Structure 1
């Protein structure tokens, strides 16, 4: 099967990771690359290690009116930059929006692929979850579905690598001198991912997510997210682990571990690692979720969603091992 694929925002970190995965996909053929500041460049100028078959492809200026014939379009643009243009993409082109404009928007399916794969299959408009929700919600889903924790008053403490801030225009404030040996909280009380997390907690639990606290931090590493999540519940550690193993039985990308996960376990992969520690006497459950913010947190889950909407095996192009060390 030859599925014609385009990528918008290809010169950014998320778009570049999507290109890497599409280039190695057994059924996808990259035929269109688009950007803004990078328009007119050849892919090899932006990505010197690009496969030879794609090296001379020229990045076009993003304009939905000039799209070639495509089957699937991946869009990796900053939040607020894609809604208007994507409304003009022909209906027969399947879209996976890696950015934030279409999460929980009418007409778009929320693409939490490991939790709701059957709701994504065959859809034509899929909104990829954000990177922090990908790490957090995969860990919370089994507990909420099994009523092992209360949906309210959940506290999320999350750490992300610097690539989560995006590549920008080459003038990023997250350069080496600013980021090395530095730990920075940001987005306090108003992070763009908080409403998405709250909405999904309520969808999974049937209850209210009132009292949710989400605090992200930038840490001096390139890739990876660790979400440590504090919840109220009387479950034991083993009950939490058992619930997760049942919930994700047969799922390709979620690994339930007895010990706390490391961010490096997921580097360069679409894997999601989850674990738990609980003290029922203290009414406390700690859930932990790890993903690569550019993998499961962005392009990896986007390709997983594209596989589902195209009727392909879910793990197509995604079953490589993580990078170690």
Structure 2
């Protein structure tokens, strides 16, 4: 079965990672690539290592009304840039929006694929979670669903590689000279990922996410997200690990580890690693999660969602091992 696929925003990091995964996907055929800044160039001009069968594909501008015949469209655009345009895409074209405009928007399904796959199957409009929510929510879900922690007063301390800011970052802080040998907090109190994390915490727990604190930090590496989550709960470490192993028993991409996870474990993959350490005497649970911000945090989960909505094996095109070292 060949599914005709397009990518909008192909020149960015998320779009480029989607290209890498789709190029070797057993059922997806990339027939359309679009990007405003790169329109008119061939894929091989932007991605010299692209497979020969895609080398000559020309990147186009993308008025939605002039899309070729597509079965599936991946949109990887900055937050604020996709809502109006994607509303003009024909309804018969299934869409996975890697950007932030449609998370918990009416008419769109929130694509937290490892936790709610059955809600995603067969849908036509999927909003991909952000990279920080992907790491955070996969880590918290077993504890919230099992009532092992309180949904309020969760503190999220997050570290991310520079590619999470997008290509160029749009900010001098993300240049090499500013980020190398440096550690920077940013997005304090008002980060764009806060609402989707709070909403999902409440849906998983049935409680209120009041008191949620989230502080991301930029670290001088290219890829990866590590979240350390401080929660209130009287569970033991083993109870937390057992809850996660049970919760993810039949899920192909989540690994529960006895030791704290490391970002390099996930590099170039769609894997999500979770682990826990608890001190019941202090009513404290520390939960830790790792994803590749361009993999599970963006294009990897987008392909996983696309597999679900297209009725394909969930792992199609995503079986590759992480890059190591």
The worse-fitting range, judged by mean Cα deviation, of 175-184 and 104-113 is 175-184
Q: How does 1:23-172 map to 2 (within 5 A)?
A: 23-168=23-168
Say which is worse superposed, 281-290 or 172-181, in terms of deviation. 172-181
| CA contact 1:5–1:32 (8 Å) conserved in 2 | yes
Distance change in 2, residues 1:171/1:159 (3 Å)? closer
Distance change >3 Å, CA 169–CA 141, structure 1 → 2: closer
The normalised TM-score by structure 2 is 0.99
Aligned structure 1 segments of 4 or more residues deviating by more than 2 angstroms: 168-173
Mind listing any 5+ residue stretches in structure 2 that lack a counterpart?
none
Residue 223 (structure 2) aligns with: 223
Inter-CA distance 76–193: structure 2 relative to 1 (3 Å threshold):
same
Q: Which runs of 5+ in 1 are unaligned?
A: none
Q: Using the alignment, how far apart are the partners of 1:141 and 1:172 within structure 2?
A: 35
Helix, strand or coil: the match of 1:60? Answer: coil
Match of 2:209 in 1: 209
Corresponding position of 1:192: 192
Q: Secondary structure at the match of 1:302?
A: helix
Residue 175 of structure 1 and its aligned partner are, at CA, apart by: 2.1
- C-alpha displacement at 1:178, in angstroms? 1.2
Counterpart for residue 273 of structure 1: 273
Distance 1:90 1:12 in 2: 24
> Structure 1 length as normaliser, TM-score?
0.99
- SS of the residue aligned with 2:198? helix
Structure 2 vs 1, CA of residues 172 and 21 (structure 1 numbering), >3 Å: closer, same or farther?
A: farther
| 1:278 Cα offset (Å) | 0.2
CA distance in structure 2 between the aligned counterparts of 1:286 and 1:239, rounded to whole angstroms: 13
Query: Is contact 2:168-2:175 (8 Å) kept?
Result: no
What's the CA shift string for 1:107-162, capped at 9, x where partnerless? Answer: 00000000000000000000000000000000000000000000000000000000
